[in-house]
Amino acid sequence: MSGGCMLTSDLPNPALDIPPAYREAGTARGAATPSLDWWRGFRSAELTQLMEEAQTVNLDIAAAVARIRQADAQARITGAALLPTLSAGGQETYSRTSGSSASGLSIGGREVTNFSASLSASYQLDFWGKNRDAALAAEETANASRFDRETVALTTLAAVANAYFQVLASQDRIRTAQRNIASAQRILDAIKQRFSAGTGTELDVAQQESILANQRAAVPPLRTTLAQNVNALATLVSRPPESVRVAGGSLNRIVAPRVTPGIPSELLTQRPDIRRQESRLASATANVGSARAQFFPTISLTGSGGYQSSALVALFNPNAAFFSLVGGLTQPIFDGGVIKGNFELTQAQQDELLQTYRKTVVSAFADVDNALVAIRQATARLRLQREVVRASRRAFELSEQQLRAGTADIVTVLNTQLTLFQAEDTLSQAQLAQLQAIVSLYQALGGGWEPKMERPVNAL
């Protein structure tokens, strides 16, 4: 399928190749399109609270809202050229002539007071659409600012979700490390007992002490990661870290929602960054029209009228009225190539934004496919890793029992506990990867989608 379904006929054809379906979409049962409050699908009340707070107080979103106000104000300024300007004025003039004659005699000066009240208007006829296109360009820029705000909001919400899941993963890994430390300490105690009984060696003790020390050394970096992500959440909700308390919990309590990506053509209306680039392209196209109109004459009308009198009481008498009406036409003849250069500049800017629009759309399709691949592979990895953990835990329990019974080989015990420790830590990372892949899919799809209206059965 070629062409852009969002672009109007006035815009250049982006010649997009829109696939009929995503290659990695599959047919997942129970999947649904993203809801407007998509984060609720993870079933975490604390995450929902952070998301809702970020939407109202995040500073990046507030700055994007300020840019919208700026763009709206600029659109009003630019659009004012389509309307006439009207001004009123009043004036009192007092003057005195010289009292000296050519012969040097003093004959007395004359004092003159003059009063006037006037109303003037001017209007530029927009025959060629220069002002109209300029106003349209400003309006499209304002629309782009609105989609930019949605893009910033979506990026912020994805950052909140990822940081929160990082907090949960860090807490899980810390708990796992603490359990592993306790297990390593039990093994060390058992090995020391064997060494005291003469059935173990000092090397066995040293090796287990090294494993225990490594497990203890793994905890501080995890606590650092935990603190950094809590601080990141504080920044996202515009609060100092000291005033933010994140209870967290465990990734095991988070539900992994099932999401369908829909069809690729729907992405053109759902992704705010695509809509932003579309509005920017529309603005550039209008600028081309405004620049083209500068080759034609400028026609303007100016009129003024009012009253003028030397006596204030007679100012508004009919005899004191005056008016003037002027029509002007200005045709550029030679300007050193300024108008032509400006026209070529706007054309080049339009072409740049056209290519940027195309790249944004193509990248959006790739983002969705990448997220779908990541979810599928992360889910498979998580399932396999759980099997690894179950088998590793069983092997470790058996080796520990044999160690206490005095029948286990120390090398086997060391290997099984290291395998279990690594498998449990990897499991937490696999859970995090799956949830972050789901967040990436929500972000790639443009966040929440408006619910589709059901068509009546008897509709024509």
Q: For 180-227, what is each residue's pLDDT tens digit?
A: 999 999 999 989 988 888 888 899 899 999 999 999 999 999 999 999
CA angle 284, 287, 289 (to 5 degrees): 120
Region of residue 251 (phi > 0: left; psi between -120 and 50: alpha; otherwise: beta): alpha
pLDDT beyond 70 at 109: no
pLDDT reported for residue 304:
86
Query: 253, 255, 251, 217: which is closest to 428 by C-alpha?
Result: 251
pLDDT beyond 50 at 108: yes
Mean pLDDT of all residues in 269-276: 94
pLDDT reported for residue 115:
79
Higher pLDDT, 215 or 116: 215
Query: 260, 268, 279, 258: which is closest to 19 by C-alpha?
Result: 268
Task: Give the global pTM.
Answer: 0.86
**192: amino acid identity, one letter:** K
Instruction: Assign 256 a pLDDT band (cuts: 50, 70, 90).
Output: very high
- Weakest-pLDDT range from 70-79, 291-300, 447-456: 447-456
Tens of pLDDT, residues 394-429:
999 999 898 888 777 888 889 999 999 999 999 999
pLDDT reported for residue 272:
96
- Rounded distance, CA 439 to CA 432, Å? 11
Higher pLDDT, 97 or 361: 361
- Weakest-pLDDT range from 16-25, 275-284, 446-455: 446-455
Higher pLDDT, 4 or 33: 33
Q: Could you give the domains of the chain? A: 38-84+127-296+340-444 (1.20.1600.10)
**Host H or E run for residue 154:** helix 130-197
Mean pLDDT of all residues in 100-123: 73
**Host H or E run for residue 113:** strand 111-125
Mean pLDDT of all residues in 154-183: 96
| Average per-residue pLDDT for the chain | 88
Mean pLDDT of all residues in 72-93: 89
pLDDT > 90 fraction of the chain, expressed in percent and rounded? 62
Mean pLDDT of all residues in 168-186: 95
- Rounded distance, CA 361 to CA 19, Å? 12
- Rounded distance, CA 121 to CA 310, Å? 25
End-to-end CA gap in the chain: 27
